[in-house]
Amino acid sequence: MPGSSLRLLLSAQQIQERVQELGAQIDADYPDGTLHLVCILKGACFFLADLARAIRRDVLIDFIGISSYGKGKITSGAVKLTKDLDITVDGADILLVEDIVDSGVTLNYLVNVLQNASPGPCASPLCSISPSVASRKT
């Protein structure tokens, strides 16, 4: 990018190779039943699409909107649900799909919401394309 101070960290090929590896690992970790992929809007939607194609088993996809940023770029610490799930996840295997895990405040809140909303056992691990360790709080 001429005139830009941005630098390439990973090539498109490196990202796609990693997404394929993640898909294979998810297939191995969840061999039975239907897996619910819950995309945390909005940044993770393209990662979710690639990941869903890399997973070779049945998946259901839904979206949830959650924010702790308001209009700023630094977390306010106050978490707000902006879009709830459209499908029921009672007792389901859930994989949260996120683009960047920043402070962890929002994700921690979301995991608690999902676990409290489900009367049966509910697993909610995370698949993230890029963890941001610089501002991690939880």
What are 23-46's pLDDT values in tens digits? 999 999 988 888 899 998 888 899
Q: Domains in the chain, ordered, with CATH?
A: 12-131 (3.40.50.2020)
pLDDT band at 119 (very low <50, low <70, confident <90, very high): low
Catalytic residues, by residue number, are 102
What are 53-84's pLDDT values in tens digits? 999 988 999 999 887 766 656 656 678 888 98
For the chain, what percent of residues have pLDDT higher than 90? 28
Contact (CB, 8 A) for 36 and 92: yes
What are 96-111's pLDDT values in tens digits? 898 877 777 777 888 7
Beta strand 93-101 pairing with 80-83: unpaired
